[in-house]
Chain A
């Protein structure tokens, strides 16, 4: 029981501060009070009240929480028989609360962890609910019931957990903010955001991260006002919340750095500016535009649009509706009035909710290394299984039952492989939504009005892939906003709406995922690009190129269409980097554009980086795996379709096309490969709109293989992109199609 008595230096009597006098009163009362002693209880209550007053006059903002708690506990004891059962615990809590406050009056800081512990004790032991105790509770809960005496400053793990968790919360808030902006009066989203801030507030308070706590608290208050419809969710509210998110992220990163540097995290960048803005917004002092219309269309509008009902009918129904009707009830009313069928309403509701369909599924968090390990091992299992199945000794076993079991094993392994691959698949939605935030910021910075639309955001992509896609995607979108979409006045002059649109689209196509960035901006001018290409020496003067070849110039090193360097893009990092990144992922970029109407950049990636769908080919005694997606066809050319130029350059005529011949055996120095194309096979491969005919001996089959690197020093072999363990346990090499094009020269084909 700590109290003023613990401090002999101040126990002198007359020279006590007013606060100390009150603390003495509390400790004396706590120590001497017998059970149900209402007079002593009154003494304690009045002492807490006095402390509250003194704190207010001295401007100690830390104290009121504890005073409120003391007051609440006292009141409960006074009026509630059940609470009085816990008299002794209550006395204990009074003492603890008092010493917390005393600490503050002696020039210290409010010890938040201890306070939160007290709050949770009040709740658990006394079963008393305190207003505002919830936040403290959350903090206490987050500590996992940690001992109050725990040395928090040393507890790195708590901080680390806090950092990951709150970063996740902030990310999820960011995503939800975009939803909120689209639907400002969606209370579900608002609540979710509120809850996330609330948690951050609680935990940061517990960890004594006061700036984060303060900012979270302010933002929470702002959101609370919005939640209670006291404040409309305007653009400026959203702006300021975004700012707060950024601020908090910065601080948390700071914490993270400090924690990893081994220091305790206490000091932060100033929050004053952001808090000032929050206050301004709260008081409605911001002159941003009025709230935008909620984007999810109203149910009635949807129905009218679908021609199921007329506006007049809806108005009629609505006028009958009682005052406090919710949105859904319109549907009910319409059904009751037999104006529309339940099916139509359900459909309309689905359309309406399309944007905000957050299906909550249960997830567990798994270390990514474990997951990768699992996927790798399953890959090995599949290979081992095929090794066993194809073993000659096994093949000679003559037993129906054995083969049945063997094929059962095969089914299970392939199912297992499918599942293990899907474990890493995540919807691209998060990436897209991050982009939407970026578009918003970019547009604001460049003084343009741009809205971003998303299509197919539920398309699933390998998690590793998503990370790799991120950068090229950011670049393409920057490019579209910065160079594609025009300024509002130019758009209006061109008879377009001032609001530009950037559409992000994702879909599966074959074994690939396609991501398209489309804008309705000024489009690409082939003539200008060609001229520039010639000027930069990227193309020879006087060369005639097809439109797609001209657009491909954009991705050549040293080519930039930007006339000025801006903050947003054109910092010397050109589209050639994008192309390189995309190709590293075995992807391709295709550009389409109509001058004056916009451009589309379509990036095609394999679904996963780990597995490749390949055709196994034989050249001499060697086997190679050709990626199926770059193969056009395979054929045995008749002798007369083999042509030479000056007896050196060799070509194969495939229908009306003349394709340069690539002799794989020559390229890879294999001695016993078939020499004459008409005796072997040619595989037509395609990359970036160009084709080659590759001479091989024969096709061995189709196989999905797990891609592995060749190990240090060997990863840069031109024409080989990696290796794979084949069914017989040997290593097969995977051909790098674009590498083969590079080796054999990228000259235009002869068509």
Chain B
């Protein structure tokens, strides 16, 4: 398990991991399939007051209340109407207080794909104004670039901790 968490990007071993890829605007992102609990269609979300804009609110996942983050808004994209293709990916995060489930809204889920560690390239430097801490690397699949996210860092780095904003 531990070695599949992608810590060995630089070691060049030929191991491969499964990633779930999804679309956000014109960009393709991928996240470690082991973090994904399930994928659901868009459903009723109850807004929670006084929380940051990208936190759309909470929803009822079979009796459990989980927070939902709109990844478009989190990444500063324009807000877009939810469509038939809009999905909520439920991911499980390891936080200091224990495991928690968070739903992330994406434009569309594409596929589950095997990406070999050797195909992952380090993230280029974009300068000080653009932090790439939460990007594990870039992978090229069938001529397209997939941005691999460390979803825990996306949601915790200036994210979940400030839900209550």
Contacts and interface: CB of A to CB of B under 8 A. Distances in A.
A712 B58 contact: no
A598 interface: no
B48 interface: yes
Contacts of A715: 164
B101 A714 contact: no
B48 A720 contact: yes
Contacts of B162: 713
Interface in B36-92: 44, 46-51, 55, 57-60, 63-67
B14 interface: no
A374 to B, nearest CB: 14
B125 interface: no
B69 to A, nearest CB: 10
B65 A731 contact: yes
B46 A731 contact: yes
A712 B46 contact: no
A733 B67 contact: no
Contact of B161 (A383, A710, A713): A713
Contacts of B59: 730-731
Given A711-B100, A731-B60, A723 B164 contact: no
Interface in B94-123: 95, 97, 100-102
Nearest to B55: A714
A318 interface: no
- For the complex of A and B, list the 5 residue pairs with the smallest distance between their C-beta atoms, beginning with the closest: A668-B49, A713-B163, A712-B100, A713-B160, A731-B46
A713 B164 contact: yes
Contacts of B47: 622
Contact of A711 (B44, B49, B50, B67): B67
Given A380-B63, A731-B46, 7 more contacts: A668-B50, A669-B50, A712-B102, A713-B164, A714-B163, A717-B163, A718-B164
B51 A711 contact: no
Contacts of A713: 67, 95, 100, 160-164
Contacts of B63: 376, 379-380, 383, 725
Contacts of A709: 65
B95 A714 contact: no
A725 B59 CA distance: 9
Given A716-B164, A719-B50, A711 B60 contact: no
13 contacts: A380-B63, A708-B64, A709-B65, A711-B65, A711-B66, A713-B161, A714-B55, A717-B50, A718-B164, A720-B48, A720-B50, A723-B46, A731-B65
Interface size class of A (residues with CB under 8 A): 20 to 34
Contacts of A711: 58, 64-67, 100-102
B89 to A, nearest CB: 15
Contact of A725 (B50, B65, B164): B65
A715 B66 CA distance: 11
A667 interface: yes
A709 B44 CA distance: 18
Contact of B58 (A380, A383, A622, A723): A723
Nearest to B97: A712
A710 B163 CA distance: 11
A132 interface: no
B49 A667 contact: yes
A669 B95 CA distance: 29
B141 to A, nearest CB: 32
A331 interface: no
Contacts of B95: 712-713
B46 A720 contact: no
Interface in A450-501: none
Contacts of A731: 44, 46, 57-60, 65
B160 A733 contact: no
Contacts of A716: 164
B51 A714 contact: yes
Interface string A659-679: 000000001111000000000
A710 B67 contact: yes
A729 interface: yes
A732 interface: yes
Contacts of B60: 725, 729-731
A709 B101 CA distance: 12
Contacts, number: 89
A710 B58 contact: yes
Contact of A718 (B50, B57, B161): B50
Contacts of B65: 708-711, 723, 725, 731
Interface in A359-388: 376, 379-380, 383
A668 B46 CA distance: 12
Nearest to A668: B49
A712 B160 contact: yes
A733 B160 CA distance: 19
Contacts of A717: 48-51, 163-164
A732 B44 CA distance: 11
Contacts of A670: 49
Contacts of A712: 67, 93, 95, 97, 100, 102, 160, 163
Contacts of B160: 712-713
Nearest to B63: A380
B75 to A, nearest CB: 18
A733 B164 contact: no
Most buried by A among B50, B67, B97, B102: B50
A714 B50 contact: no
A723 B44 CA distance: 14
A667 B93 CA distance: 31
Contacts of B48: 710, 714, 717, 720, 733
Contacts of A723: 46, 58, 65
A714 B164 contact: yes
Nearest to B96: A712
A709 B97 CA distance: 13
Interface in A685-730: 708-720, 723, 725, 729-730
B1 to A, nearest CB: 22
- Which among A670, A717, A718, A725 has the highest number of chain B CB atoms within 10 Å? A717
Q: Which of A383, A669, A730 is packed against the most chain B CB atoms within 10 Å?
A: A730
A669 B47 CA distance: 10
A714 B66 CA distance: 9
Contacts of B55: 714
A546 B44 CA distance: 48
Nearest to B155: A713
Nearest to A708: B65
Nearest to A728: B44
Contacts of B49: 667-670, 717, 719-720, 733
Nearest to B101: A711
Contacts of A668: 49-50
A379 B64 CA distance: 12
Give the interface centre of A380, A710, A713 by most chain B CB atoms within 10 Å.
Answer: A713
Contact of B46 (A379, A380, A669, A732): A732
Nearest to A621: B47
A735 to B, nearest CB: 10
B97 A714 contact: no
A383 B65 CA distance: 14
A718 B49 CA distance: 9
Nearest to A706: B63
A267 B54 CA distance: 59
B50 A730 contact: no
A372 to B, nearest CB: 13
A667 B48 CA distance: 12
A109 to B, nearest CB: 46
